[in-house]
């Protein structure tokens, strides 16, 4: 990881970096690092810093820089050789102040887009993995130090736990996107972009957002052979609507259902469209359909997690005989799994279409009408509508 960071940083300083600042996580078998980079003031080079995540801790980044003080004497910190000189010449940092260089404050306005666009997600993840810290949901500003760089989780996290974090909509908090009028009668957490420019305001930015195109969780296990030890759990489409499947770093090919496809052409042979359709159909009756989607995700992903030890044991045995056989085995397993999951999801989608159409719930009986919740009917003025009887013909009072 250290060598990769140094290489990326050196190339950016030499050849230039332009565009939005970026935060990348760089991980090897033993260490996890955070690498943050932005353009230099003259737009011809780059400034960067990197910090090691302490062993056994959780770090979260959400469209903002998270590294703060740069300590030249810290062996677990790296930075571009031009950092102090360039920031001083630009008037961004005063070395004579005696204060350490605060990376976030020196090169960034703090948050991207609007208040809490980033910090709310940082708060949510850190609060879920370490609730006893009682981290505040509201802070004094974009340069707050209320949220530590990383925290020790109160229980060891599994891949399933991390996936669940990605699917979060602040459920159960005051920011719960499945509640309130904006969620509609059936608790839809999605909030679309492109709002009126005449109405000032914003929505909470969830961890899982409708426009997200993919999500992944990487595992590195140094005690296994490289082709087996590294595995990416990959999900096409938004986290809340996808099913993650494994891709081992030893595979030699990607299945067609993940290698091809286009947002401009619906294709049932592409996994993305199976997941994307499932999420979009669920928006018709979210509070009814999404619990069933969650059960499907748990069933499929749980099965894959349960199979993982046996698959990897077989792969290691093949590796000891012939590494190429190991790679072929894993390539076939990943391709078969991707195809099987796609078909399972399309079968499930067919079930959702049948059960939830025209506003009805059609299973176990066809045409069961569930209507709308009382609170929503009152909120939209249903109780002011015409009722049966002579009084119903009168013009409603203003």
Structure-derived torsion over alpha carbons of residues 80, 84, 89, 94, reported in degrees to the nearest 10 = 150
* β-pair type (360-361, 356-357): antiparallel
Flag whether 82 is in a domain.
yes
Residue 102 shares a structural domain with residue 221:
no
For 265-275, the pLDDT digits (tens) are 999 999 999 99
**How many residues can be counted in the chain?**
398
Flag whether 307 is in a domain.
yes
Query: What is the pLDDT, as a whole number, of residue 84?
Result: 97
Give φ, ψ of 162 to 5 degrees: -65, -40
Query: What is the pLDDT, as a whole number, of residue 193?
Result: 82
Flag whether 263 is in a domain.
yes
Residue 222 shares a structural domain with residue 350:
yes
Distances (CA, A) of 218 to 213, 309, 346: 17, 16, 26
Do residues 17 and 37 touch, judged by C-beta distance below 8 A?
Answer: yes
Flag whether 305 is in a domain.
yes
Joined together, the tokens standing for residue 212 give 């997200």
Q: Which segments of the chain have a pLDDT < 70?
A: 195, 398
Report the alpha-carbon distance of residue 270 to residue 255 in Å, rounded: 10
Query: What is the pLDDT, as a whole number, of residue 115?
Result: 94
Query: What is the pLDDT, as a whole number, of residue 363?
Result: 94
Query: What is the pLDDT, as a whole number, of residue 199?
Result: 85
- Nearest of 384, 357, 351 to residue 369 by alpha carbon: 357
Which string of b and e fits 191-210 if b means at least 16 CB within 10 Å?
Answer: beeeeeeeeeeebbbbbbbb
Query: What is the pLDDT, as a whole number, of residue 398?
Result: 66
CB 73: neighbour CB atoms within 10 A? 5
Report the alpha-carbon distance of residue 112 to residue 126 in Å, rounded: 19
Flag whether 248 is in a domain.
yes
Query: What is the pLDDT, as a whole number, of residue 296?
Result: 99
Flag whether 128 is in a domain.
no
The domain boundary residue, chosen from 78, 112, 146: 112
Do residues 241 and 279 touch, judged by C-beta distance below 8 A?
Answer: yes
**Upper half-sphere CA count for residue 201 (Cβ side, 13 Å):** 7
Query: What is the pLDDT, as a whole number, of residue 258?
Result: 94
252 by Cβ neighbours in 10 Å (0-12 / 13-18 / 19+) ranks as exposed
Give φ, ψ of 163 to 5 degrees: -60, -40
Distances (CA, A) of 133 to 68, 162, 172, 310, 315: 20, 19, 18, 38, 41
**Upper half-sphere CA count for residue 368 (Cβ side, 13 Å):** 10
Joined together, the tokens standing for residue 206 give 């969830």
Residue ranges of E strands in the chain: 22-27, 32-39, 46-52, 58-59, 69-70, 77-79, 101-102, 150-151, 214-220, 230-236, 245-248, 356-357, 360-361, 368-369
Query: What is the pLDDT, as a whole number, of residue 312?
Result: 98
DSSP states along 93-123: --GGG-PPEEHHHHH--SSSSSTTTTHHHHH
List the end-to-end C-alpha distance of the chain, in Å, as a whole number: 68
Do residues 97 and 185 touch, judged by C-beta distance below 8 A?
Answer: no
Flag whether 51 is in a domain.
yes
Flag whether 313 is in a domain.
yes
How many structural domains compose the chain? 2
Residue range of the domain that includes 352: 214-361
Joined together, the tokens standing for residue 372 give 């709308």
Residue 229 shares a structural domain with residue 108:
no
For 162-218, the pLDDT digits (tens) are 999 999 999 999 999 999 999 999 999 999 987 677 888 889 999 999 999 999 999
Residue ranges of E strands in 118-229: 150-151, 214-220
- Nearest of 20, 150, 7 to residue 78 by alpha carbon: 7
The domain boundary residue, chosen from 112, 143, 170: 112
The domain boundary residue, chosen from 83, 112, 141: 112
- Nearest of 231, 181, 200 to residue 373 by alpha carbon: 181
Query: What is the pLDDT, as a whole number, of residue 143?
Result: 96
């Amino acid at each position: 990881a250290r060598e990769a960071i140094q290489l990326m940083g050196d190339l950016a300083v030499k050849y230039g970096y332009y565009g939005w600042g970026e935060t990348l996580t760089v991980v090897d078998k033993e260490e996890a690092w955070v690498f943050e980079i932005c353009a230099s003031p003259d737009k011809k080079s780059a400034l960067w810093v990197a910090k090691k995540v302490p062993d056994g801790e959780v770090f979260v980044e959400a469209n903002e820089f998270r590294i703060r003080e740069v300590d030249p004497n810290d062996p677990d910190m790296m930075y571009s050789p031009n950092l102090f000189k360039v920031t001083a010449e630009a008037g961004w940092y005063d070395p004579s102040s005696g204060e350490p260089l605060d990376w976030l404050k020196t090169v960034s306005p703090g948050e991207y887009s609007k208040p809490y666009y980033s910090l709310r997600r940082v708060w949510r993840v850190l609060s879920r993995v370490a609730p006893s810290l009682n981290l505040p949901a509201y802070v004094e500003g974009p340069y707050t130090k209320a949220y530590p760089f990383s925290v020790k989780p109160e229980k060891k996290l599994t891949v399933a736990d991390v996936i669940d974090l990605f699917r979060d909509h602040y459920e159960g908090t005051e920011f719960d996107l499945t509640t309130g009028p904006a969620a509609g009668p059936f608790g839809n957490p999605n909030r679309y972009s492109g709002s009126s420019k005449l109405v000032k305001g914003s929505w909470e930015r969830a961890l899982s957002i409708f426009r997200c195109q993919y999500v992944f969780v990487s595992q590195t296990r140094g005690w296994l052979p490289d082709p087996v030890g590294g595995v990416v759990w990959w999900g096409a489409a938004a986290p809340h609507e996808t099913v993650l499947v494994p891709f081992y770093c030893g595979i030699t090919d990607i299945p067609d259902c993940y290698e091809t496809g286009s947002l401009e052409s619906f294709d049932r042979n592409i996994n993305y469209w199976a997941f994307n359709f499932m999420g979009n159909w669920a928006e018709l009756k979210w509070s009814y359909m999404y619990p069933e989607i969650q059960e499907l995700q748990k069933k499929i992903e749980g099965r894959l997690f349960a199979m993982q030890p046996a698959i990897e044991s077989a792969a290691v045995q093949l590796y000891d005989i012939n590494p190429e056989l190991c790679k072929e085995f894993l390539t076939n397993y990943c391709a078969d799994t991707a195809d099987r999951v796609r078909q399972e999801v399309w079968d499930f989608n067919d079930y959702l279409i049948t059960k939830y159409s025209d506003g009805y719930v059609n299973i176990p009986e066809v045409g069961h009408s569930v209507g709308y919740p009382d609170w929503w009917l009152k909120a939209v003025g249903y109780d002011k509508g015409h009722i049966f009887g002579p009084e119903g013909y009168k013009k409603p009072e203003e």
